[in-house]
A and B are shown apart, each in its own frame.
Chain A
Amino acid sequence: MRGQLTVAQVEQKAAHIREDIIRMLENAGSGHSAGPLGMADMLAALYFHIMRLDPKNPEWEDRDVFFLSNGHTVPVQYAAMAEAGYFEKDELMTLRKLGSRLQGHPERTKLPGLENTSGPLGSGLSQAAGYAYSLQYLDKQQHRFVYTIMGDGELNEGNIWEAAMFAGKYKLSQLVGFIDRNNIQIDGTTEEVMPLEDLRGKWESFGWHVQEVDGHNVESIIDAASMARAITNKPSVIIAHTIPGKGVDFMEYDYHWHGMAPNSEQAKIALKKLRTLNGKITSGENE
C-alpha cells in the first residue's frame, strides 16, 4: 500500500486531475464537465489520503473500496486513477473512444481498479452497502471501509432511499457516503427540479451520521472522513458542498456545463485558468 500524501500534496494532485479532466473531455468531444471538476478535490482526497489502496494490485484483499454511483462523472475517477498509477496517463486520451478501457460510463470488467459498473443513477449506494454488509457481518474485517460518491440530483432516485433505509437498519458503520452537493441537475437547480432540503434532516432520520463540509477544502474532507470512520454505530454521509465546474470560472455554477465538453478554444482558456490557480484552490479560498 502507498503512503498518504499531505494536504498540500493532495491539493496539487487535485490540480493535475482538473487539468486532465479538461484535456480528456476536449479530446473525447463529449461528456460531462461540471460534475467532475467539482468532485476533483474529493477524489484527490480519497485516492491520495483517505483510502488504503495499492494501484499496482487493484484486487489487494485489504484495500478500501470505492463505488462511484453517479457514473457520468467518471472522468474525474479515471484522472485520479491515472494520477495514482493504476494506468499510464496517455490512456486518458482514449476516453469514450472505440476499444478504450475508459468507457463513457464506468465498466468494472473493462478496467482493473473499478469496483462497479454505473451510469443509470441510484444504485451505487446499494452496492456499497452490500459490500459494507459483507465486511461487517460476513467477513468480520473491521479495518476496511467502503466509500461511495453520489450526485445530489441522483438523490431523486428511490433506489437511494431504499439503500439508506437498509444501511440504517443494519448500522453499516464501515460505509461512508459522500454527496456531491452542487445544486445542479440537467433540467435546472436541484431545488427547482425536485427539492432535496432538508437534506441533512432526511439522512439523520434514516439513521445516518451526517456531516457537512466545503467540498473544495481538502483538509475538511479528510477530517470528515476520519470522523466518519470513528462512528461505529451508524453509517456516515458527508454532504460536500461543491461548486460545479470549480476552477474554470466560465463553467462554475452554470448547469449548461453539466453534460457538455469544452471545445479546443474553451479547453485552452480553461487550462490557463486552472494553471493560474496553481493548485491553490483550497487553501487560497480558506485562508
Chain B
Amino acid sequence: MSHYPLQSNIFDDEVAKEPIRAGFGRGLKAAGEADERVVALCADLTESTQMHLFKNAFPERFIEIGVAEQNLVTVASGLARAGKIPFTSSYAAFSPGRNWEQIRTTAALNEQPVKVVGSHAGVSVGPDGATHQMLEDIALMRVLPHMVVVAPGDSVEAEKATKLIAKNDKPSYLRLAREKTPIFSTEDSPFEIGKAYVLREGHDITLLGTGTMTYELLVAAKELESKGVSAEVVHVPTIKPLDEETILASVRKTGRALTAEEAQIAGGFGSAIAELLSEKMPTPLWRVGMRDRFGESGKPDELLDLFGLTGEKIAVQAKEFINNTPQYHRDY
C-alpha cells in the first residue's frame, strides 16, 4: 500500500475539527484565483454554503439566484455553454433534491461541466429535522451517466476536491456536511478524483467509508483492534467513478466488507459497493447507513448514535457481522 499520511492525534479529544463545507469555501476561492472561468451561483445560502469567500474575492463572478434551485442549475448550464465553469450551491435537500431533472437533462445528458454542490447532507444537520437531512442525494446523482460524485472525508480533503473538480471538465456533484468533524487527512495526503485510499491495514474485514463516516471507521477499527479484530479502513471519497481496483484488492485480502455512509443505503454508497462486489467478487457485506427511514430532529451526536453511525456503534455492528459470517478467502 502506498503510504497515506494521517493526522497524528486523530483519537485525541483535541483533534482539530472543522465543517467539511469550510474546505469547499477555501477550495472554490483558490479555484477562482487559478482560473477566471470559474463562476459561482448560489440560491440564497451564500454564507451557509461557504460561497461568501469566493463572493468577497470575486464579486463580479458571483451570481445570486435567489431561492430558485431549478433556475440555479439551468442558468449554470447556459454559463457552461458560454465557456464558464459554474459552481452552484445550496443545501443538498434542495439541490439536487428539488432540481434533479434539470441536472439530468441540462448538465448530465448535455455534458456541461456544471458543478452541483450540496451542503448540509446527512442526519448530522441535526435539529432542522428530516426535511433538511438529505439522505437520497448519493442515489440520485450516482445513477446519472457522465456525473462524477465526490463526498470528501474532511475539510482538508474538501479543499483539494473542489480545486480538482474545477478542472475535471465534467458535470460533478460535491457532497458536503454542516457540522464540525475531525480532520484526519493532512496537506500531504493524496487526493485524486476516482481514487480510494487505504488508511489502515488489516486482514479480518474491510471497512469502506465515504464522507463523514470515514473518520468513524477509523474509530471503529481502533475499537475492533482492542477486541482482537484486525480491520482495514478504505476511504472512498469518490463514489463515482469507483476505484474498483483498490476496493477489490482490499476485499480480496479480508474476505468481508462493511460500508458506512450518512445516507440511505438503498441506492447509496453501500449499494454501489454491493453492485461492485456482486458482479466481480461476491463477498459477505454489511451496510451501515439509513435503512429505509427518514431522520428526525435532535443533536447531531444524538442522531448519529441513534442511527448507529458512530465509530463505537459501527464497531459493534462489525463484530456481530464477523461473528455471524464466514470469511470468504478466495483466489480470483
Contact = CB atoms under 8 A, between A and B. Distances in A.
Interface string A109-140: 10000011111101100111111111101110
B61 interface: yes
A269 to B, nearest CB: 36
Nearest to B43: A162
Main secondary structure of the interface of B (DSSP, over half): helix
A117 B70 contact: no
B101 interface: yes
B101 A120 contact: yes
A163 interface: yes
A134 B61 CA distance: 10
Contacts of B63: 133
29 contacts: A109-B111, A117-B109, A118-B105, A120-B102, A123-B74, A123-B106, A126-B70, A130-B77, A130-B78, A130-B79, A130-B80, A131-B81, A132-B78, A133-B63, A133-B78, A133-B79, A134-B78, A134-B79, A134-B82, A134-B83, A138-B39, A138-B61, A139-B82, A159-B70, A162-B68, A163-B75, A165-B71, A166-B68, A166-B71
Give the most central of A115, A122, A127, A131: most B CB within 10 Å: A127
Interface of B: 39, 60-61, 63, 65-66, 68, 70-71, 74-84, 86, 101-102, 105-106, 109-111
Nearest to B77: A127
Contacts of B106: 116-118, 123, 126-127
Contact of A127 (B81, B83, B101): B81
A107 B109 contact: yes
A131 B109 contact: no
A225 B74 CA distance: 24
Given A117-B105, A130-B82, 16 more contacts: A108-B111, A119-B105, A126-B70, A126-B71, A126-B78, A130-B75, A130-B76, A130-B81, A130-B86, A134-B82, A134-B83, A137-B60, A159-B70, A163-B75, A165-B66, A165-B71
A162 B70 contact: yes
A159 B110 contact: no
Contacts of A126: 70-71, 74-75, 77-78, 102, 106
Interface residues of A, number: 32
B61 A109 contact: no
Count chain A CB atoms within 10 A of each CB in B63, B66, B74, B79 and give the residue with the most: B74
Contacts of B39: 138
Contacts, number: 101
A48 interface: no
B161 to A, nearest CB: 24
A78 interface: no
B60 A127 contact: no
Contacts of A130: 74-82, 86
Contacts of B77: 116, 123, 126-127, 130
Contacts of B82: 130-131, 134-135, 138-139
Contacts of A158: 70
B78 A131 contact: yes
Contacts of B74: 123, 126-127, 130, 159, 163
A203 interface: no
Contacts of B61: 138
Nearest to B41: A130
A94 B231 CA distance: 57
A178 interface: no
B70 to A, nearest CB: 4
Contact of A117 (B60, B79, B86, B110): B110
Nearest to B71: A162
